[in-house]
Structure 1
Amino acid sequence: MKKILIMLLVLVLVISMLGCSQQETATEANDVKVLGVVMPNATHGFLGESIKHAEAATKLYAEEYGFEYQFLTSAESSEQNNQLDTLINQKVDCIVLWPHNGDELRSGAQNVMEAGIPLIVYDRLIDGFEPTMEVMGDNFTIGEETGEYLNNYFASELAEGKVHILEFKGDNSTVPQQRSDGFQKTADENFVIVQQFSTGWQRAVAQEQMETLLTSSSVEEIEAIKAVFTHDDEVVLGVLDAIMNYNGPATLDIRLATGVGGRRENLDTFKPIKEQYGIDQVTYLFSPTMVRDAVEYGAKILNGEEFSGLYLIDTMKIDASNEADFRKSDIYKIRYESGL
């Protein structure tokens, strides 16, 4: 009888210990932090590259810091708001958000902050809203430096009078607005922006818009255009496509095309476009690898570090004078030789 009682007590003790062990395991599992990364889907090359780098960085830091993650993309703002609601309900520990459009994501972002979840907003800011942290390229400086570049390039023409140019923007987010504002701050008052276009960051759209302008404008109006100020390297290529296809009566006198990105595909056109069409090019660095910085800040927040305010990622001018040197830089190598 005593042996039976002892065996029963041992069995109860074992079951109790197993229960505690399972409870501890569950508790430990629940203690694993989760990072949510919310991005637009790939509507153009820059976003496609950015998504690859964001996914790679998220996986890398998850392994390094020991957290789990949810990586979400979407086609529009309403879907992105729904994704934020889902992450809030899942009680994730930090969110990195690349908004489709800041104004349309304000309520979703506010819900994140009200839920006590640290929020890092990347690239496209939300006007009138203060997240935990903002990470972005220095768009205003890009605009400023573009204005200064055009001032120097057309110094003699500006001294004599007006210089007509075109502007091709990306969309209606804060990014092109900041670039336009920076340009207006530094550009000579004798620059006349004949027409502005919103391209949706699409090469084909920019080509169509430029072709329409060339076929619908007078010879005098076309020949007066001296430069094209664009907000994206893919857009530059669309404009150049239209110029190369033009066979109308006007003699084109476009001497300079500006872009943003520092893409290899654009650098490859610098020499042939100059030789065949007499058009110089300059682009300002805005790499898809920059999104890695935003993900890294999210990882560090999960690791207990604290950040706040705006973090601007530096840009640089790339034209024929330094294009070869730029190809040797670490930024270029990470973008094109990392195997992504």
Structure 2
Amino acid sequence: MLFGAGALAAGGFLTACTSNSDDGGDGGGENDNKAAVADKKKGKQVTIGFSGPQADHGWLNAINDQARKRVKEYEDITFEPVEGSNDAATQSGSIETLINKKVDVIVILPADGKALTQAGLKAMEAGIPVVNLDRIFDTPQASRCWIGGDNYGMGVNAGNYIGEALKDKKNAKVVELAGMDTLELTKQRSKGFRDALKNYKNIEIVARQAAEFTVESGQKKMSDLLQAVKKFDALWNHDDDQGVGAENAIKQAGRDDFLMVGGAGSKHVMDQIKADNTVIKATVLYPPTMAASAIDLARALGQGKGIAGMAEFEIPASITLYSAVVDKKNIDQYLPTGFK
């Protein structure tokens, strides 16, 4: 839901590498798919449908922006977006509209992966390949390709960053401001975080609160943490949007005696890292650039091409993006990718 180098690489890799050659391979001789020489040169016209949740969160809004911007880079894409909705039934109806329009490919970021599985299956059965973006359907049969973030890896990298920062501190204490506990992604982020910190015997997670990916919930739950734990050394916040509320609570409490690591990669947090004058020292990316890469994959599917740098004639069945840690050392590289 709301949630590196890997994200940028995936985006560039796919964009620059979708083959537009009209030559077809016959299975003999040199790999005609050097699929590779691909560029943005106009190829076969492809109509791409796009369906996602309502953009009521900074990361989701960035997903929509990334998709729209990527489409404009190609002359051979006709874009058919439908209105976003957080209601599974409404989104399912929108996907059915795209199926009836007989678009070539559909990119779907489901409001609820389980609830929208049937919609994905229906498109696939109609002969329309589906690119499943981030939130996973219940069965791989509901899509041709999945691309998304690594929630477990996000937690691991946050834990390793904090672990290295505190490895020489005796009896270090850490608190966690998680996302919605009803979501599998939150469970995966927390598990990765805990698994990573098991390697640091001097560090203990002393408190955890689950917020709701909103500024209001972030402020309330952070206030609870600050009242419950009078002294700690580091905070990991799963989501930069709810982190704005957490920052408000921290300022109100007059606290600056710990380091904070965010999650997702908002421009606001990256600006704070760049300035280096608050408790925020890093953020772990959950890159919305995945939506741009999903467009690249959909275009490749619609044109029947593979991607460069790989010997196969077909695009992969799944692509997991890397959750890079952004801190003061590499902030200049990643600052342009921050979302509002």
- State if a TM-score over 0.5 links the two structures: yes
Could you tell me how far apart the structure 1 residues matched to 2:158 and 2:92 are? 35
Could you tell me how far apart the structure 2 residues matched to 1:81 and 1:39 are? 10
TM-score of the aligned structures, taking structure 2 as reference length: 0.74
1:83 aligns with 2:90: no
Could you tell me how far apart the structure 2 residues matched to 1:70 and 1:318 are? 32
Call closer, same or farther: CA 1:317–1:288 in 2, change over 3 Å: same
More helix by share: 1
SS in structure 2 at match of 1:288: coil
Could you tell me how far apart the structure 1 residues matched to 2:338 and 2:273 are? 19
1:155 aligns with 2:195: no
Select between 162-171 and 130-139 the one with higher mean Cα deviation: 162-171
Could you tell me how far apart the structure 2 residues matched to 1:59 and 1:185 are? 42
% identical aligned pairs:
26
Q: Where does structure 2 lack aligned partners over 5 or more consecutive residues?
A: 1-43, 306-313
Report the count of equivalent residues.
285
Greater relative contact order structure (CA < 8 Å, 6+ sep): 2
1:307 aligns with 2:302: no
The answer for the alignment partner of 1:51 in structure 2 is 64
1:167 aligns with 2:180: no
The answer for the alignment partner of 1:298 in structure 2 is 298
The answer for the alignment partner of 1:185 in structure 2 is 195
Could you tell me how far apart the structure 2 residues matched to 1:111 and 1:76 are? 18
The answer for the alignment partner of 2:150 in structure 1 is 138
SS in structure 2 at match of 1:307: coil
Q: Deviations over 1:184-213 (max 9, x none)?
A: 3212264325223131x2122211222244
Q: Does structure 1 conserve the Cα–Cα contact (< 8 Å) formed by 2:148 and 2:319?
A: yes
Call closer, same or farther: CA 1:174–1:295 in 2, change over 3 Å: farther
Could you tell me how far apart the structure 2 residues matched to 1:295 and 1:144 are? 28
Q: Does structure 2 conserve the Cα–Cα contact (< 8 Å) formed by 1:37 and 1:70?
A: yes
Could you tell me how far apart the structure 2 residues matched to 1:136 and 1:101 are? 14
Alignment match of 1:241 (pick from 224, 242, 248): 248
Which residues in structure 2 correspond to 1:261-340 (within 5 Å)?
Answer: 261-270=264-273, 275=277, 279-305=279-305, 306-327=314-335, 332=336
1:65 aligns with 2:68: no
Could you tell me how far apart the structure 1 residues matched to 2:146 and 2:328 are? 33
For 2:221, the aligned partner's letter is Q
Q: Deviations over 1:297-330 (max 9, x none)?
A: 1111111223241112233221123324544xxx
Call closer, same or farther: CA 1:76–1:195 in 2, change over 3 Å: same
Q: Does structure 1 conserve the Cα–Cα contact (< 8 Å) formed by 2:177 and 2:221?
A: no
The answer for the alignment partner of 1:42 in structure 2 is 55
For 2:156, the aligned partner's letter is E
For 1:223, the aligned partner's letter is K
Could you tell me how far apart the structure 1 residues matched to 2:261 and 2:240 are? 8
Give, in angstroms, the shift of residue 34 of structure 1. 2.8
The answer for the alignment partner of 1:259 in structure 2 is 262
Could you tell me how far apart the structure 2 residues matched to 1:171 and 1:88 are? 34
Could you tell me how far apart the structure 2 residues matched to 1:76 and 1:117 are? 23
The answer for the alignment partner of 1:227 in structure 2 is 234
Give, in angstroms, the shift of residue 238 of structure 1. 1.6
SS in structure 2 at match of 1:34: strand
For 2:117, the aligned partner's letter is R
Could you tell me how far apart the structure 2 residues matched to 1:94 and 1:88 are? 9
Q: Where does structure 1 lack aligned partners over 5 or more consecutive residues?
A: 1-30
Could you tell me how far apart the structure 2 residues matched to 1:294 and 1:325 are? 23
For 2:205, the aligned partner's letter is V
Give, in angstroms, the shift of residue 254 of structure 1. 4.8
Alignment match of 2:128 (pick from 93, 110, 117): 117
The answer for the alignment partner of 1:207 in structure 2 is 219
Could you tell me how far apart the structure 1 residues matched to 2:88 and 2:94 are? 10
User: Over the residues paired in the alignment, what is the CA RMSD in angstroms?
Assistant: 2.8
For 1:284, the aligned partner's letter is V
Could you tell me how far apart the structure 1 residues matched to 2:322 and 2:54 are? 25
Call closer, same or farther: CA 1:177–1:317 in 2, change over 3 Å: same
Q: Does structure 1 conserve the Cα–Cα contact (< 8 Å) formed by 2:209 and 2:221?
A: no
TM-score of the aligned structures, taking structure 1 as reference length: 0.74
Select between 292-301 and 109-118 the one with higher mean Cα deviation: 109-118
Q: Does structure 2 conserve the Cα–Cα contact (< 8 Å) formed by 1:142 and 1:179?
A: yes
